[in-house]
A = this chain, B = another copy of it.
Amino acid sequence: MAAVTYERVLAPLGAALPDLEALYLDLHRHPELAFAETRTAAELARRLTGDGFEVHTGVGRTGVVGVLRNGEGPTVLLRADIDALPVEEKTGLPYASTARGADAEGRDVPVMHACGHDMHATWLSGAASLLSAARDSWSGTLLAVFQPGEEGGDGAAGMVQDGVFDLAGKPDFVFGQHLVPGPAGWVLTRPGVIMAASDSLRVTLHGRGGHGSRPETTVDPAVLAASVVLKLQTIVSRETAATEPAVVTVGSMHVGTTGNVIADDAVLEVNTRAFDNAVLLRVRAAIERIVHGEAVTAGAPKPPEIELAGSYPVTANDEAVTGELTEVFRAHFGPETTMPAPLVTGSEDFSEFGRAAGAPSVFWLVGGFDPVEVITAMTEGRFESDIPSNHSPRFAPVLHPTLRAGVETLVVAALSRMAHPGVE
């Protein structure tokens, strides 16, 4: 396909940027937790409708799907996730979130788009609009999928089970992208495995409560939890090979309500990562062994409970299609901003769409931080410490050229797969 087509389709993007910026700021100021994205979904559905898409809402609870049937040709699914995180924003930005929401346990928590899904949604909304406006440039079916509940892990599966492929058939290609703290304007691709498999485990440790001054009448769940957290470190340090990447993180630990009362229980939320499903299962088994062993050691009155709250498979890109897309990106963006992606320890349920459809899928990364700042930090060895990563309360992408770049990737990728009856 000729690059000239890309240019023509993308021509209105410059004029559209102020509106996309307004959408991004609005989403950023009003983040919503997984499966509570009703305000977000309504706005995205409104825009799809305005762009002439057939719009389906409530797909997989709070998901939105726009269908654009545009003649013969392949079906391309473009996916963006739309949920935010229970993180208290500390960016100091004028448009920082002060929103709160109810987490899975009903606790009132702060909410922030700390993972960039506000940008993902804005990108896809912008790309959908451009592709709709340029319907004469391509032929096929476009599925714009706004997925809820990516954080936690079963939003994609929920849309699949709820019949997302019944709306316009199974896609021939599935594409998605993620905002990362790389230089704004960079696109990073990787054939094969790109993102990790992951488990989310909820561990409830049972002690026996009592007065804080009489520990001998209790089994102290704070000490038990502390020991579990330290012992879980040994799964990565002692039980997995150095050449076998794995991560075990206890992101959340809650015990008791006041200093002078020993509580009955402790609750840990544990998240694991690996680039190989077998390793992930081994890590899960080690967690179970350690958690149960620690309870025995503590003399716990009953065994702990371990609930698998979610599980992501490895995100693996189709080698051939990734290779072709990389060439397309390189031609469009230039070789100096089209880079090989590193192996990313983050996880995604994006691959569920490709798996369920039996279609090749490709997931790529788009940088969104000030290039000078990022590259200086990299060369000075300060990248890890100074550039806030996804999920950080200080995650703060720059708007430009980030907004433009992520719209272009989706448009170019979709066009590269669609039919172009009038072109050849």
Complex interface: chain B residues within 8 A of A228 (CB): 226
Q: Report the separation of the CA atoms of residues A247 and B275 in the bound assembly, to the nearest whole angstrom.
A: 19
Nearest to A274 among chain B residues (CB) is B242
Report if A239 contacts B (CB, 8 A). yes
B242 touches A242 (CB 8 A): no
Interface residue A1 (Cβ < 8 Å from any Cβ of B): no
Q: What distance in Å separates the Cβ of A210 from its nearest Cβ neighbour in chain B?
A: 5
Query: What is the CA–CA distance of A380 and B211 in the complex, to the nearest angstrom?
Result: 22
The reply to whether B257 and A86 form a contact with Cβ atoms under 8 Å apart is: yes
Q: How far is the CB of A151 from chain B (nearest CB, A)?
A: 7
A263 contacts the other chain (Cβ, under 8 Å)?
yes
Task: Report whether over half of chain A's contact residues are helix, strand or loop; otherwise say mixed.
Answer: mixed
- Partner of A255 from the list B202, B232, B252 (CB cut-off 8 Å) is B252
Chain A interface size band reads: 35 or more
Tell me whether A416 is interfacial, beta carbon within 8 Å. no
Chain B binder among A155-163, A264-272, A322-330: A264-272
> A389 touching B214 by the CB < 8 A rule?
yes
Nearest B-chain residue to A108, judged by Cβ: B108
B90/A264 in contact, CB under 8 A: yes
| Min distance, Cβ A388 to any Cβ of chain B, angstroms | 7
Cβ B213 vs Cβ A239 within 8 A: no
Chain B nearest CB from A424 CB (Å) reads 42
* Residues 87-116 of A contacting B (Cβ, < 8 Å): 87, 90, 103, 107-110, 114-115
What's the nearest-Cβ distance from chain B to residue A188, in Å? Answer: 14
Residue A260 contacts which of B198, B242, B298, B299 (CB distance < 8 angstroms)?
Answer: B198
Question: A residues 215-254 with Cβ under 8 Å of B?
Answer: 215-218, 220, 222-223, 225-254
Complex CA distance for A173 and B208, rounded to whole angstroms: 39
CB pair B262 A249 closer than 8 Å: yes
Of A56-64, A124-132, A289-297, A360-368, the one contacting chain B is A289-297
On chain B, the residues within 8 Å of A266 by CB distance are: 253
Task: List 25 A-B pairs, Cβ < 8 Å.
Answer: A109-B257, A115-B211, A198-B260, A209-B393, A209-B394, A210-B390, A211-B346, A212-B391, A213-B347, A215-B247, A216-B241, A220-B234, A223-B234, A226-B229, A232-B237, A233-B237, A237-B237, A243-B342, A252-B256, A252-B263, A253-B253, A258-B269, A260-B271, A293-B294, A296-B297
7 closest pairs, A vs B, by CB? Answer: A293-B297, A259-B269, A213-B345, A242-B245, A226-B229, A259-B271, A211-B391
Chain A interface residues (CB < 8 Å from chain B): 85-87, 90, 103, 107-110, 114-115, 151-152, 196, 198, 200-202, 208-218, 220, 222-223, 225-264, 266, 269-271, 273, 275, 286, 289-290, 292-294, 296-299, 309, 342-347, 384-385, 388-394
